[in-house]
Amino acid sequence: MPAVSKGDGMRGLAVFISDIRNCKSKEAEIKRINKELANIRSKFKGDKALDGYSKKKYVCKLLFIFLLGHDIDFGHMEAVNLLSSNKYTEKQIGYLFISVLVNSNSELIRLINNAIKNDLSSRNPTFMCLALHCIANVGSREMAEAFAGEIPRILVAGDTMDSVKQSAALCLLRLYKTSPDLVLMGEWTSRVVHLLNDQHMGVVTAAISLITCLSQKNPDEFKTCVSLAVSRLSRIVSSASTDLQDYTYYFVPAPWLSCKLLRLLQCYPPPEDGAVKGRLVECLETILNKAQEPPKSKKVQHSNAKNAILFEAISLIIHYDSEPNLLVRACNQLGQFLQHRETNLRYLALESMCTLASSEFSHEAVKTHIETVINALKTERDVSVRQRAADLLYAMCDRSNAKQIVAEMLSYLETADYSIREEMVLKVAILAEKYAVDYSWYVDTILNLIRIAGDYVSEEVWYRVIQIVINRDDVQGYAAKTVFEALQAPACHENMVKVGGYILGEFGNLIAGDPRSSPLVQFNLLHSKFHLCSVPTRALLLSAYIKFINLFPETKSTIQEVLRSDSQIRNSDVELQQRAVEYLKLSSIASTDVLATVLEEMPPFPERESSILAKLKKKKGPGAVSVNELEEGKREGGELNGGGERGGDSSAISTPSPSADLLGLRAGPPVTAAAPSAGSLLVDVFSEAGVNDDGFLSSAPPSVVSEDPAPPLPESNELLNKFVCKNNGVLFENQLLQIGIKSEYRQNLGRMYLFYGNKTSVQFVTFTTTVTCPGELQSHILHIHTWNSLEPLIEGGAQVQQVINIECLTDFSDAPLLNIKFRYGGALQNLTLKLPVTINKFFQPTEMASHDFFQRWKQLSLPQQEAQKIFKANHAMDTEVLKAKLLGLGMALLENVDPNPENFVCAGVIQTKAQQVGSLLRLEPNAQAQMYRLTVRSSKDTVSKRLCELLAEQF
Amino acid sequence: MIKFLLMVNKQGQTRLSKYYEQVELGKRAALEADVVRGCLARRKEECSFVEYKDYKLVYRQYAALFIVVGITENENELSIYELVHNFVEVLDKYFSRVSELDIMFNLDKVHIILDEMILNGHIVETNKNRILAPLLALDKMAES
């Protein structure tokens, strides 16, 4: 080794550094530095031309001062001058200064480029390397423009020195990252890929970074690198540790290169070529085997290097997710690390296992380690390791172990670090919901969550528990009981009060039978928390009180007393005051019936993606949690719970809504139950996304579309007819788009799910939909609420869902129009369809005996009440098909009513908001003539006519 | 990829910093202080990988000197951990038992060594002899 004389040749610099080191205070240091800066400035400005050595010395000092954290605003020119020196040390300091201090848009770039150009053409490898390093470090646009063409040539030229090739590879990578448009690989591609075969390991190491980056951007062009990488890896893995001499690190052959090769392979799917794949699997097996062998050295460096390769190999195995054997082996090996004494290994094993848990092949194997992981969560002394353990528990959770895992996570939460509590809370809430078989367990879990970590329970979490309790009547009583007990605690979290207020307000009656939780006890308990709560919670409690008046008339006077007190009715908060005044008025003037209607139990919430999950996704970024399973689970659950419909928002004030904002209350007086005007169809569109955010009807502005909607498609009537007798199916399909429909109706309300599927591989942009009611509908229409915040993007192959709520106000004939606009590859697509909402959807079937039927038939004998049509059969006259269609129509199909068994008779009542329209139908097929006679009688002429028109197309 | 490499002493003074991604000068000091505080606060038995903002820190302590490397998600932690050691071994070989003072007084040489090992946030060379070759050639020139 050379004797390193400190400060080697630059005494002034050494003295300066010593001075700085001897400074006792920051002030002294600054003083010394300012003195030096003044000195250097005067030297640079002085008349005497400085020689190379002095310039180097001063530039070096400036560099040192900069590294101490002081701004340097001069000396750049001198540094640039040093570049053209012939002395290596001077040139090197110049380049160093520029790499560290010159940012890419400096005006000196042109001068610097000039110097670089000279060095690149000097054919002196050390100078070339310096120049390439400088380009790699600065990497500005100007540099890319000047050198992007030159560098690939240097990289692949046969006579380039190895060290220069290495620098050139990474230099090119930098330019590719900053200005991809200037780096055209085209003709060089294959030669660059073949650098993987270079006999020099250093060149391979450098080239592989470049190839990895290029492969990520253009996987097809660089596909050939897979087989080359596999053979290179195989040669390294199977070599004895002495073969690679200097590239062996503590008896491990080329650990860094191996990692990089394995990383490169992760840019591609498993090799298709059987031989290549076989070789690769063999490599991976060898790596797993070697990790099990007794160590060749006791040094930690040896095992670290070996394990670095092992972890990278496991990443590749997980990436392929196709070799069950390897996956399970990987899992076992990681399992051993879970109890390793090296914290680093435990950390990495937990992290790696987290991804293994999501593979179907290794999920079970991962689960066997549950005890160890739980133990890690409890005993690890390092928060980052505990965090990994919690992540892994979340990932390995399924139906079989959910209760255990949730219990462990809850108990950990009591002592968890503040930094991770919120995330833990979300995770517990999600697991509890996802795997709840028994919903009382779910309720217990969430209430515990609020009790233990109330501050970290975000709104989404408690909204969600309320949504679930409302939608599932089997758990409501239990929820009321539990929340009542939880509220007994002397100090309970405000979130608990919110949940308590909401649930008791809705379901307090379910526990009121017990004298220990009689209505008044419930009320007093809630009210005892009132004064400690914030305004939104108080508002929610007030709504709960008015609900109490409805549930328990005996509490009316007590509650009115409270509402009447000055602290409520004169409250300085407008919202509270308004609620107090209005509720007080409502409770005193409305009749019991009106009260019961207005304060009816909340209808079930529309099912949608859990808002908590959305929040976790937001926290972790997309792709961090696997959501498919839960979403599917929810959809099924949705059908079980579903069927309920939300009233249109002007028709009922219902409950303290989770967003603590009573529906419509802000906008107007509470009793808007009587619809302000007569109309025919209220279509209320809100998309999933719009509702998600605050758990309720949020108010994204109605979308404004500039282009006029296209006229309805010519086939839209036909499409509409397809849906008269059925509720689900594909409404529309062309080469780009498929629209599916699922709908359900009850009484005068309906909910329609629209599924927009992108059939192409290209995304649709500015995707908007609007529902309008044309013509006559329009003039009668009350409101159209369009919360149309559907994601404006639909990825290729993806599907988005929209929900439309429909309320039928009076009978109607025309169908609402659905207009869809989006851009596909720049071209505007604009199409209008008829939304298959027909009057018969609101039928309520009525069973009646033969006698009744004919009596009513006679009652509807006015000529305009009857509509009749005689028409030719369009389809085969199959009795079963006819029956199915008539049932699909929504009326009751009455057997043994008509004396002629060939005939069909049906009865039903159309439910509209304004009135009920009873309808009777008789269909007489004539098989010989292939004709039908259809007669419809109903109490309203327009209905008869419309039904007749609709049905005539069906048979 | 590697975002930055820092050498910091226990007092929190930066002895060497190398950024492979543009970080504003003003923000560097804050980042360095933050990073050092994070690492100093950790005990021996805690693991050497820390999540910090959107990247990970891999650190290793040598006497009073910390070497901290900021890496992106897709980098192999252990291989970086050993890269740090390899770097220190190269410094050791060149300075024969390297100390904080060697690094301060020979900053240019430490930079040359680092540039031979990491370029642009990617590993270029891991072979000790080849890393030192240009520097040794340089010393020979200086002697003659």
Nearest C-alpha in A relative to B96 = A1
- Average pLDDT score over residue span A119-141: 87
pLDDT-based confidence at residue A179 (cuts at 50, 70, 90): confident
What does chain A come to in residues?
955
Q: Which token pair is A778?
A: 């329009």
pLDDT tens per residue across span A268-298: 999 999 999 999 999 999 999 998 888 888 8
Tokens of A210: 């470049």
User: What pLDDT score was predicted for residue A608?
Assistant: 61
Instruction: Please say if the pLDDT value at position A105 is more than 90.
Output: no
Chain B partners of A67 at a C-beta cutoff of 8 Å?
A: 14-17, 107
Task: Give the pLDDT score at A389.
Answer: 92
Contact partners, residue A929, CB within 8 Å, separation at least 6:
none
**pLDDT surpasses 50 at A185:** yes
Among A152-156, A331-335, A512-516, A778-782, the least confident range: A778-782
Residue A255 with chain B: CB contacts under 8 Å: 79, 82
Residues A883-903 as b or e (16 or more Cβ within 10 Å = b) = eebbeebbbbbbeebbeeeee
Q: What is the rounded radius of gyration, in angstroms, for the C-alpha atoms of chain B?
A: 15
B85: pLDDT strictly greater than 90? yes
- With tokens 């006999």, the residue in question is A199
pLDDT grade, residue A622 (50/70/90)? very low
Whole-angstrom distance, CA of residue A418 vs CA of residue A455: 11
Q: Which residues of A388-420 are buried (b: 16+ CB within 10 A; e: fewer)?
A: bbbbbbbbbbbeebbbebbebbbebbeebeeeb
Q: Chain B interface, mutation test: which of A60, A72, A137, most B Cβ atoms within 10 Å? A: A137
pTM of the predicted structure, to 2 decimals: 0.64
* B120-137 tens-digit pLDDT: 889 999 999 999 988 888
A496, two tokens: 């608990």
Q: What is the pLDDT of residue A553?
A: 86
If one compares A311 and A816, the residue with the highest pLDDT of the two is A311
In this predicted structure, the answer to whether residue A938 has a pLDDT above a threshold of 80 is yes
pLDDT in tens, A360-390: 888 888 999 999 999 988 888 888 898 899 9
Q: Best interface-test mutation with A: which of B17, B39, B47 has the largest number of A CBs within 10 A? A: B47
Task: Give me the total of CB pairs closer than 8 Å, taking one residue from chain A and one from chain B.
Answer: 168
As a whole number of angstroms, the distance between CA A68 and CA A76 comes to 18
Please report the residues numbered 331 through 390 in chain A whose beta carbons come closer than 8 angstroms to any beta carbon of chain B.
343-344, 346-348, 381-382, 384-385
Reported as type and span, the H/E element at residue A944 is helix A941-952
Average pLDDT over residues A837-861: 83
| Spatial separation of the C-alpha atoms in residues A746 and A811, rounded to whole Å | 15
How high is the pLDDT of residue A628? 41
* Statement: residue A391 has pLDDT above 80: yes
Backbone φ and ψ for A297, nearest 5 degrees, come out as -150, 150
SS3 A742: strand
Task: Give the residue numbers of the binding site of A.
Answer: 11-12, 43, 53, 57-61
Whether B108 and A255 lie within 8 Å, measured CB to CB: no
| Residue A13 pLDDT class (50, 70, 90 cuts) | confident
Strand B14-19 versus strand B2-9 pairing type? antiparallel
Confidence at residue A778, expressed as pLDDT on a 0 to 100 scale: 55
A904-911/B55-62 β-pairing: unpaired
Instruction: Tell me the chain A residues in contact with residue B95 when contact means C-beta distances shorter than 8 Å.
Output: 1, 4
B104-130 mean pLDDT: 89
Pairing of strands A681-687, A784-787: parallel
Q: Mind telling me how many Å the CA of B113 is from chain A's nearest CA? A: 12
Please count the residues of chain B.
144
The residue assigned the tokens 């699997």 is A281
Contact in structure between A549 and A537 (CB atoms under 8 Å):
no
Phi, psi of A910 (to 5 degrees): -85, 125
- Residue-level pLDDT at A259: 95
Distance of CA A6 to the CA centre of its chain: 58
Of all residues in chain A, what percent carry a pLDDT higher than 70?
86
B-chain residue closest to A101, CA distance: B25
Query: How does pLDDT run across A654-690, given as a tens digit for each residue?
Result: 344 343 333 333 333 333 333 333 333 444 333 333 3
Least confident of A327-336, A555-564, A591-600, A706-715: A706-715
Is the pLDDT reported for residue A781 higher than 60?
no
Mark which residues 88-117 of B lie under 8 Å from A by CB: 93-96, 101-102, 104-108, 111-112, 115
Neighbouring C-alpha atoms within 13 Å toward the C-beta of A214? 28
Query: What was the pLDDT predicted at A609?
Result: 61
pLDDT at A345: 93
Side-chain-facing half-sphere of A257: CA atoms under 13 Å: 31
Q: What's the gap in Å between the CA of B77 and the closest CA on chain A?
A: 7
- A173 interfacial to chain B (CB closer than 8 Å): yes
Residue B34 at interface with chain A, using a CB cutoff of 8 Å = no
Cα distances (angstroms) measured from residue A7 to each of A1, A56, A79, A108, B101: 16, 13, 19, 29, 11
Q: What pLDDT score does A394 carry?
A: 92
* A916 interfaces chain B, CB cutoff of 8 Å: no
A851 near B CB under 8 A: no
List alpha helices for A646-709, DSSP H: 688-692
User: What is the average per-residue pLDDT within B27-52?
Assistant: 85
* ipTM computed for the complex: 0.91
Q: Which residues of B touch A170 (CB under 8 A)?
A: 119-120, 122, 124
Which pair of tokens denotes residue A922?
């008789």
Better pLDDT: A785 or A802: A802
Q: Is A174 in CB contact (< 8 Å) with chain B? A: yes
Residues 793-822 on A with a CB inside 8 Å of B are: none
Q: Would you say residue A915 has pLDDT above 90?
A: no
Q: Residues A799-813: what's their mean pLDDT?
A: 78
What are the C-alpha distances in Å from A537 to residues A500, A506, A584, A612, A652? Answer: 11, 16, 18, 20, 22
Would the pLDDT of A65 be above 80? yes
Q: Check: CB of residue A540 under 8 Å from CB of residue A656.
A: yes
Q: Which residues contact A897 (CB under 8 A, 6 or more apart)?
A: A848, A849, A850, A853, A905
Residue scoring higher pLDDT (A937 or A706) = A937
Q: Which pLDDT band holds residue A634 (cuts at 50, 70, 90)?
A: very low
